[in-house]
Amino acid sequence: LAAAAPNTWTTKAAKPSSTYGPAASVGGKVYVIGGSDPPSSENREYDPVTNTWATKASMPTARYGHALAAARGKIYSVGGYNNSCGVYAMNEEYDPVTNTWATKAPMPTARDAFVLVNPGNGKIYAIGGDNGPCPSNHISTNEEYDPAGNVWTAKAAMPTPRRDPFA
């Protein structure tokens, strides 16, 4: 394979379905999980080395508006929207090595359209979002998840409520 020229785009294998959802990366592979409208539980793995997609174990709860973050070699799928004016607090952990899902402690504040980030300290932060799409209610909530202890902790809220991520 020849290397792509710097500052150019290269077309790669298309994802084999039309669903869309958030993505996270673990072990050099990219996972696109859930999303779409109506909600999906699809889990697709992209391997950039072989330029191929594989279908993996479906997420237990179909949803969209959720967020993904990787920590400790696993992917966490948190929150989301159920297409019936309800938001979720659920936290489901995907292990790419065993291709299995486990239910973890739910976040204290149910929401969708938020940011889930691991800044490299082994913890995950759920920031902002919307806690009721019918009607929409933007929030400034900031909660920290510790995967090692399976516990959530409230942190300082953002000064201004935001959603989608911070539009």
Nearest 5°: phi and psi at 93?
-105, 130
The Cα 15–Cα 5 span in angstroms is 24
Stretch 1-9: mean pLDDT, rounded? 75
pLDDT digits (tens, 9 = 90+) for 138-159: 999 999 999 999 999 999 999 9
Q: Please report the pLDDT score of residue 82 as a whole number.
A: 80
Q: Which residue has the higher pLDDT, 77 or 82?
A: 77
Q: Answer whether residue 167 shows pLDDT above 60.
A: no
Q: CA angle at residue 62 from 57 to 67, to 5 degrees? A: 90
pLDDT digits (tens, 9 = 90+) for 99-148: 999 999 999 999 999 999 999 999 999 999 998 767 778 999 999 999 99
Confidence label for 77 from pLDDT (cuts 50, 70 and 90): very high
Q: Please report the pLDDT score of residue 43 as a whole number.
A: 96
Cα distances from 136 to residues 68, 85, 87, 142, in angstroms, run: 22, 9, 11, 18
Q: CA angle at residue 73 from 71 to 32, to 5 degrees? A: 80
Work out the number of other CB atoms within 10 angstroms of the CB of residue 49: 8
Q: Please report the pLDDT score of residue 46 as a whole number.
A: 97
Q: Which residue has the higher pLDDT, 166 or 158?
A: 158
pLDDT digits (tens, 9 = 90+) for 12-64: 999 988 878 899 999 999 999 998 878 899 999 999 999 999 999 999 999 99
